[in-house]
Amino acid sequence: MVLITAILAVLVIFAAYQATISPVTGSEERGVRNGSKVQVDYIGMLAPEYGSLVFDTSIYDVAADNITYPKVATFKLRDRNQYKPLMVHVGEASEGGYTKVVDGFSEGLVGMKPGETRTIVVSPEKGYGNGDPSLIKTLPLVENVKMRETYSTKQFGAYFNAEPYVGEVVEHPLYHWPIVVENLFENYVIVRNEPETGKEYSTEGWNIRVLDVDSTADGGNGTITIKHLITKEDEFRTTGTGYIKGIERTFILTDVNETAGTYTIDYNEVTRGRTLVFWVKLISIDVY
């Protein structure tokens, strides 16, 4: 039932595009087989349970149209001349400009004839794999941030491009609210976060709101309570950067669970660990 639903959803989404395609003449009677070298146009999407968002395509008009074909947050529009049919060596290694594609895509091409369109559903096992679970983080929508933070002198210079002095006001590198240098020592600096209660600030991915500032909490060190302003509508449409395993990487927001009070970010490629749906049109069989 899930497979049928996915196929029907994709056929509805691409009905308008298919209506604009002129049929290819001179189609071979034989279809694609393993070892064939073919050219295809395609639109790659996440499965309907992830919003049917486009992550890649060979068609410029699809790539440029974000209304009819909404995209994942990591989608990047290329120059028009870079959009052209994909040359595929079906079931084989790349050769002579023809590329090897994931097994599910390749297997779905078998039997197609020029001019034919097909919807191919690809599981993670037949696609890009399940990804690294250690690169997926579930975090609270409402969290506490320390009012006072400590930076080494070297870190302070790297983050704020300035020499620290007591009373200096700089901007927090993540939350972009003001912070004040409170104490200065030989090798480290203590700063005090000073956001306004009720005010919204931008992070690297979305806005947060300051719910409370309690200078007496945490044994007098102070605590700031913030809420991440994200909803289900932002899933797969919002991205940001963060540090994981000591490396700065791009993540994508994959889940917002307001009932549980959590959100999930994934540093894996968006195609990993998810069922994918490809709409494909076979342009030609160059080598049968």
Which residues pair with residue 179 across a beta bridge? Answer: 170, 193
Does 43 fall in a domain?
yes
For CA atoms 79, 36, 23, 28, give the dihedral sign.
Answer: positive
Does 208 fall in a domain?
no
Phi, psi of 143 (to 5 degrees): -145, 165
261: tokens are 């009070």
Which residues pair with residue 169 across a beta bridge? Answer: 180
- Banded model confidence at residue 3, pLDDT cuts 50, 70, 90: very low
Instruction: State pLDDT tens for residues 102-147.
Output: 999 999 999 999 999 999 999 999 999 999 999 999 999 999 999 9
What pLDDT is attached to residue 30? Answer: 85
- Banded model confidence at residue 14, pLDDT cuts 50, 70, 90: low
Does 113 fall in a domain?
yes
- Banded model confidence at residue 71, pLDDT cuts 50, 70, 90: very high
Does 172 fall in a domain?
no
pLDDT score of 21 more than 90: no
Q: Is 265 helix (H, G, I), strand (E, B) or coil?
A: strand
pLDDT score of 236 more than 70: yes
Does 255 fall in a domain?
no
Domain that holds residue 108: 2-131+272-287
- Banded model confidence at residue 244, pLDDT cuts 50, 70, 90: confident
> Which CATH number is 35's domain given?
3.10.50.40
Q: Is 8 helix (H, G, I), strand (E, B) or coil?
A: helix
pLDDT score of 224 more than 80: yes
pLDDT score of 27 more than 60: no
Mean pLDDT to the nearest integer, 180-203: 96
pLDDT score of 20 more than 50: no
Structurally, the chain folds into a number of domains equal to 1
The better pLDDT of the pair 247, 148 is held by 148
For 114, half-sphere exposure in the C-beta direction (CA atoms, 13 angstrom radius) is: 20
Enter the pTM of the model: 0.82
Give the ranges where 94-237 is alpha helix by DSSP (H).
103-109, 153-160
20: tokens are 């604009």
Do the beta carbons of residue 92 and residue 110 sit within 8 Å? no
What pLDDT is attached to residue 175? Answer: 93
110: tokens are 């078998």
- Banded model confidence at residue 170, pLDDT cuts 50, 70, 90: very high
- Banded model confidence at residue 246, pLDDT cuts 50, 70, 90: confident
Mean pLDDT to the nearest integer, 164-178: 95
Does 210 fall in a domain?
no
- Banded model confidence at residue 79, pLDDT cuts 50, 70, 90: very high
* pLDDT, mean over the chain: 91
Instruction: State pLDDT tens for residues 254-287.
Output: 999 999 999 999 999 999 999 999 999 999 999 9
The helix (H) or strand (E) run that includes residue 202 is strand 200-202
Mean pLDDT to the nearest integer, 52-67: 98
- The DSSP annotation for 205-225 comes to SSEEEEEEEETTTTTTT-EEE
Mean pLDDT to the nearest integer, 48-53: 97
Does 201 fall in a domain?
no
Mean pLDDT to the nearest integer, 169-186: 95
Interstrand relation of 276-287 and 262-266 (parallel, antiparallel or unpaired) = unpaired
What pLDDT is attached to residue 169? Answer: 97
Q: By percentage, how much of the chain surpasses pLDDT 90? A: 83
The alpha-carbon radius of gyration of the chain (Å, integer) is 25
First to last CA, the chain: 34
